[in-house]
Amino acid sequence: MESLKLPQSLFSSHGGKAIVPLPTSSLLPKSTFLIYPNRKLALSTDFVTTATVALLSANIFPCRHCVVKQIRSMQFTTRSTSASVQSTADELMEGKSKDLPVSGDSIRRRFIDFYASRGHKVLPSASLVPDDPTVLLTIAGMLQFKPIFLGQVPRQVPRATTAQRCIRTNDVENVGRTSRHHTFFEMLGNFSFGDYFKKEAIRWAWELSTVEFGLPADRLWISVFEDDNEAFEIWHDEMGVPVERIKRMGEDDNFWTSGVTGPCGPCSEIYYDFHPERGYSDTDLNDDTRFIEFYNLVFMEFNKKDDGSLEPLKQKNIDTGLGLERMARILQKVSNNYETDLIYPIIEKTSELAKVPYGLADDHSKLNLKIIGDHLRAIVYLISDGVVPSNIGRGYVVRRLIRRAVRTGRMLGIKGDGQGNLEGAFLPVIAGKVIELSAHINPDVKDRTPRILEELKREELKFVQTLERGEKYLDQMLVEALLSAKASGTVPRLSGKDAFLLYDTYGFPVEITAEVAEERGVSIDMTGFDIEMENQRRQSQAAHSAVKLAMGNSADLTKDVPDTKFIGYETLSATAVVESLIVNGNPVLQVSEGSEVEVLLNRTPFYAESGGQIGDHGFLYVPQGENQHKAVMEIIDVQKSMGNIFVHKGTIREGVLEVGREVEAAVDAKLRQRARVHHTATHLLQSALKKVIGQETSQAGSLVAFERLRFDFNFHRPLIDNELAEIERLVNKWVGDAAPLQTKVMPLTEAKGAGAIAMFGEKYGEEVRVVEVPGVSMELCGGTHVSNTSEIRGFKIISEQGIASGIRRIEAVAGDAFIEYVNARDYHMKQLCSTLKVKAEEVTTRVENLLEELRITRNEASTLREKAAVYKASIMATKAISVGTSEKFRVLVESMEDTDADSLKKAAEYLIETLEDPAAVILGSCPGADKVSLVAAFTPGVVQLGIQAGKFIGPIAKLCGGGGGGRPNFAQAGGRKPENLSNALEKAQSEIISVLSEKAK
């Protein structure tokens, strides 16, 4: 490339600010250079298109002094791998820099363009939340094509290319420790669905690597499956790779399997050699210090059967993946993936907050900076895709990463938000940089910025409180370790289980635990901690670490069945032909009365469950004559299977149903109408929510049923009564407006451009159905809807509650369900008015008065019970026994029959004040069926001996089938076995006397 046309300004890929203004027509000679941060100026992603680009001639920086001054003014943090500013200036002036870096964004674009020019359909990245129950998160580029590879759905295109966002957490402990492990990464892929195979895949991978990206051919090594002679010969004979740089590897390394059974095949990988000077002898492609695997080609050509044997697939497929972060590392000539322009700006922002320059940081600080740089990418994209922190499933993945980032930031010394607020959150500040870099990964992230930052802030501040509790718990552990060591004459030591509990439950870094413990003279059992950590790691890796594909009976049952034609938008009844009958997972030719069966029809008016709307109910009839039926089947559910095949589930009520028989399919019109009403009401509800609580809220799930609707949405707090009332008012206003709905089919890009909202969890093709209530709502939706909002008749919210951290749920009714709900409430109100003998408007006042009377009565009763308990205790005080010789300890252990827990506490407090110090009081009672109450109270003289009420009462309570604890001087406990109370008190008396007698000596 002799010259390059530039836009009006150059931008730094680590900041986006104009470095040098240039006229649009500027042409620069090949002898000029690109500066990357600390070494060379980075090109904007808008104009880097080749592996080597010439920029910035001496005409732009006319003198050496100007070059040095310009570089210094950029204030880049010097990296461990960077040349000095002076040497960079020398390279610029002397023309020594030849291998110029390219941005990560340009690598992504050039990969996609490369395969698009070779007939591949460019498809968008799938969400990180997969439409697949076998995996928790999207962990590979091929996941969205799994149904095609399985033959469950027909291919829409013969070949495709994607830049897929991926999440993997099974190696989270390696993040930052190695040069290549990440939780979030991008996999660039090209796929063939029965189109091209090994020869084309290998040829294009080689051309992309050596020509498009300009990698030196003599630095590329190849691995192939040990028995794959075909791939070996293509690499050697056609691509010209020397045999000494092609390694045959075994099944563990180079044979891809989707699971115990299913599609599989050999794979071939391309490695980059960072140290070719080491030669060819004793080379190990798994040596991370020398090689990095950046491209993996999977040749999916076999089906693995139950017996382990392999049979050729009818359709051979190609599944490849090129790691964007790895290729960026190679082309940008940095020592690890974290120092590429994909991640390094995030590290720079973290360094700024921590006041720890990356280039001057020690190895441990660099590790922590890398962890935050990695984790924030994963966190931002997960939250953007609708995952919110929680204690289960995907939510736990986000919460774990957030907590790990918070812990790591505290270890780096980050205090507050870096802007003077020491009580503020720092993760949103760093997330802002991730969002800034997101334009070419997922443009939707920017639109979701408010929700992402609010979620991060809330979760971080909540976790900081947990960390502070952990600090208090650690202090308690250290006190106990010191006391225990003193009593036993051993060296104070914190167990590995305790250290892991602090780490796992309270998010307390073991490094901080060790540092604090050392200051107090306590060591840590690190071996025990490592064992606990390894146990957790094994459990983590055992779950959702692979994409599971299977070619079982379901694929065989439907392989010859065409997609079901859905005609339910236009009609609720139609004739159809029975294509298949399935009983207990097996195909049959006919089914008789009483049998439960799944029916596949060639066409159907029945809506299959999707988009949150449940499937239709109704009947299938086999006509015999006028108004007579040879067979009747009741349909109670309809589901989609294997793509677009509708499965009608139900029971044969009359006669016999056969394959090939023509039937009359009739949907229950009343139930369909109830579903239509609730589905349209759901759209209106979402619009009302956005108006009342903010546009940033978004759907997180829904259910459209016959009797109610349920809508889940992202929001950080409960809705107040006024907000719920306003939401109801808006929806009912739109219902009263009697607005006609408009439904149309249009290209997906056009629909999104018009502002249509995508329904949560749905996958869309190139053509989409758009449902619009003019001026109110526009959504992509395949569900059934009313033709006019007046059909909804009325809308009422029946509940609003939180179901997970940051997720709220509204349940509501509309249409017939609304009328039924209002009538039921009216009936109950009339009954209540009759019972209370008041008018409806007086019910609230009357109930409040009754509650106040009840509260006063209960307080009086409680006071009387406490006085009675204290009176009993005053009589019991005379039963206290003395223990010891030189110093007398008063001990009282008694049962107080059916005294309630509060009164038992008052009695113990009275006794401990009455008896002289030192004294110990243990009381028990059975206040109800299957209920035991226990209390232990010790005076200061007993506590000073190291005897703690909280620790003493716990084992006693276990005898009664319960537990408990409390402070050193006072503790309460409970149980469920009243029959054991007598024995428990006897044991309590025996043990307290024994301990005190020993201490008295």
**Residue 101 pLDDT grade (very low, low, confident, very high; cuts 50, 70, 90):** low
Report CA torsion sign: 368, 369, 370, 372.
positive
pLDDT value at position 537?
A: 66
Between CA 658 and CA 689 the distance in angstroms is 49
pLDDT value at position 642?
A: 67
Higher per-residue confidence, 169 vs 869: 869
Higher per-residue confidence, 297 vs 876: 297
Least Cα distance to 748 among 734, 762, 738 occurs for: 762
**Residue 575 pLDDT grade (very low, low, confident, very high; cuts 50, 70, 90):** very high
pLDDT value at position 763?
A: 66
CA 882, distance to chain mean position in Å, is 61
Domain coordinates in residue numbering, the chain: 104-334, 345-540, 565-667, 673-824, 876-1000
**Residue 854 pLDDT grade (very low, low, confident, very high; cuts 50, 70, 90):** very high
The two tokens of residue 514 are 């060790």
The two tokens of residue 406 are 């918070």
Question: Is residue 86 scored above 60 in pLDDT?
Answer: no
Between CA 341 and CA 329 the distance in angstroms is 9
User: Phi, psi (5° rounding) for residue 246?
Assistant: -120, 120
Strand partners, 318: 192, 299
Q: What is the mean pLDDT of the chain?
A: 83
Report CA torsion sign: 217, 223, 227, 230.
negative
pLDDT exceeding 70 applies to what percent of the chain? 85
Residues 81 and 359 sit within 8 Å (Cβ to Cβ):
no
pLDDT exceeding 90 applies to what percent of the chain? 52
Residues 912 and 919 sit within 8 Å (Cβ to Cβ):
yes
Give kind and range of the element (H or E) at residue 776: none
Task: Return the SS3 of 712.
Answer: strand
Distances (CA, A) of 232 to 191, 198, 241, 736, 782: 21, 11, 9, 72, 49
User: Phi, psi (5° rounding) for residue 155?
Assistant: -70, 140
Query: Is there a common fold for 565-667 and 673-824?
Result: no
Between CA 620 and CA 652 the distance in angstroms is 9
Question: Is residue 190 scored above 70 in pLDDT?
Answer: yes
pLDDT value at position 308?
A: 82
Distances (CA, A) of 809 to 712, 719, 732, 806: 4, 10, 19, 10
Higher per-residue confidence, 865 vs 804: 865
For the CA atoms of 960, 964, 965, 970, what is the dihedral angle to 10 degrees? -60
Question: Is residue 885 scored above 60 in pLDDT?
Answer: yes
For the CA atoms of 330, 366, 346, 331, what is the dihedral angle to 10 degrees? -10
pLDDT value at position 250?
A: 92
CA 894, distance to chain mean position in Å, is 53
Higher per-residue confidence, 128 vs 57: 128
Higher per-residue confidence, 543 vs 315: 315
Residues 57 and 31 sit within 8 Å (Cβ to Cβ):
yes
Pairing assessment for the beta strands 596-601 and 628-641 based on DSSP bridges? unpaired
pLDDT value at position 58?
A: 29
- pLDDT tens for 605-626 read 999 998 899 999 999 999 887 7
Higher per-residue confidence, 397 vs 80: 397
Between CA 375 and CA 398 the distance in angstroms is 9
Between CA 459 and CA 403 the distance in angstroms is 8
Higher per-residue confidence, 718 vs 699: 718
pLDDT value at position 524?
A: 92
Strand partners, 221: 271
CATH superfamily of 673-824: Threonyl-trna Synthetase; Chain A, domain 2 (3.30.980.10)
Give kind and range of the element (H or E) at residue 43: none
* Top-ranked range on mean pLDDT: pick from 33-42, 64-73, 546-555, 982-991: 982-991
**Residue 133 pLDDT grade (very low, low, confident, very high; cuts 50, 70, 90):** low
Between CA 144 and CA 191 the distance in angstroms is 11
Q: Is 833 annotated as a binding residue?
A: no
Q: Residue 221 gets which letter from DSSP? A: E
**Residue 199 pLDDT grade (very low, low, confident, very high; cuts 50, 70, 90):** very high
pLDDT value at position 956?
A: 92
Residues 759 and 778 sit within 8 Å (Cβ to Cβ):
no
Residues 543 and 136 sit within 8 Å (Cβ to Cβ):
yes
Between CA 263 and CA 615 the distance in angstroms is 32
CA angle (196, 200, 203) in 5-degree steps: 170
Mean pLDDT of 433-447: 89
* DSSP 3-state percent helix, strand, coil across the chain (nearest 5): 40, 25, 35
CA angle (573, 574, 575) in 5-degree steps: 145
Q: Is 781 annotated as a binding residue?
A: yes
pLDDT value at position 837?
A: 93
Q: Is 785 annotated as a binding residue?
A: yes
**Residue 79 pLDDT grade (very low, low, confident, very high; cuts 50, 70, 90):** very low
Between CA 747 and CA 768 the distance in angstroms is 6
Question: Is residue 3 scored above 70 in pLDDT?
Answer: no
Residues 27 and 3 sit within 8 Å (Cβ to Cβ):
yes
CB-CB neighbours of 554 under 10 Å: 17
Q: Which CATH number fits domain 876-1000: 3.40.50.300, 1.25.60.10, 3.10.310.40, 3.40.630.40?
A: 3.10.310.40
pLDDT value at position 55?
A: 29
Question: Is residue 688 scored above 50 in pLDDT?
Answer: yes
The one-letter amino acid at 17: K
Strand partners, 1000: none
Strand partners, 772: 742, 778
**Who's near 353: CB < 8 A, 6+ residues apart?**
409, 414, 418, 426, 429, 430
Q: Residue 183 gets which letter from DSSP? A: S
Between CA 681 and CA 732 the distance in angstroms is 9
Pairing assessment for the beta strands 699-704 and 709-714 based on DSSP bridges? antiparallel
pLDDT value at position 134?
A: 66
Between CA 523 and CA 498 the distance in angstroms is 12
pLDDT value at position 47?
A: 31
Question: Is residue 245 scored above 90 in pLDDT?
Answer: yes
Q: Is 375 annotated as a binding residue?
A: no
Give kind and range of the element (H or E) at residue 912: helix 901-914
**Residue 633 pLDDT grade (very low, low, confident, very high; cuts 50, 70, 90):** very high
Between CA 842 and CA 792 the distance in angstroms is 32
Q: Name the class of domain 104-334.
A: alpha beta
pLDDT value at position 420?
A: 74
Higher per-residue confidence, 65 vs 983: 983
Between CA 270 and CA 231 the distance in angstroms is 12
Q: Residue 19 gets which letter from DSSP? A: E
Helix axis angle, 449-488 to 363-384, nearest 10°: 130
Question: Is residue 760 scored above 80 in pLDDT?
Answer: no
Question: Is residue 552 scored above 70 in pLDDT?
Answer: no
User: Phi, psi (5° rounding) for residue 744?
Assistant: -145, 160
- pLDDT tens for 747-758 read 888 887 788 887
Between CA 751 and CA 773 the distance in angstroms is 14
Between CA 826 and CA 509 the distance in angstroms is 58
**Residue 538 pLDDT grade (very low, low, confident, very high; cuts 50, 70, 90):** low
Higher per-residue confidence, 557 vs 18: 557
pLDDT value at position 338?
A: 93
Mean pLDDT of 440-449: 87
Between CA 688 and CA 76 the distance in angstroms is 47
Helix axis angle, 344-354 to 363-384, nearest 10°: 120
For the CA atoms of 343, 127, 320, 133, what is the dihedral angle to 10 degrees? 130
Between CA 13 and CA 36 the distance in angstroms is 8
**Who's near 656: CB < 8 A, 6+ residues apart?**
590, 591, 592, 593, 630, 631
Q: Name the class of domain 565-667.
A: mainly beta
Question: Is residue 150 scored above 80 in pLDDT?
Answer: no
Report CA torsion sign: 307, 309, 311, 316.
positive
Strand partners, 800: 810
Q: How many alpha carbons lie under 13 Å from residue 591 in its C-beta half-sphere?
A: 26
Residues 150 and 549 sit within 8 Å (Cβ to Cβ):
yes
Residues 961 and 980 sit within 8 Å (Cβ to Cβ):
yes
Cis peptide bond prior to 62, omega within 30° of 0: no
Residues 785 and 677 sit within 8 Å (Cβ to Cβ):
no
Q: Residue 40 gets which letter from DSSP? A: B
**Residue 542 pLDDT grade (very low, low, confident, very high; cuts 50, 70, 90):** very low
pLDDT value at position 557?
A: 55
Between CA 235 and CA 246 the distance in angstroms is 8
Question: Is residue 968 scored above 70 in pLDDT?
Answer: yes
Question: Is residue 329 scored above 50 in pLDDT?
Answer: yes
Mean pLDDT of 133-154: 80
Higher per-residue confidence, 261 vs 72: 261
Pairing assessment for the beta strands 767-773 and 742-747 based on DSSP bridges? antiparallel
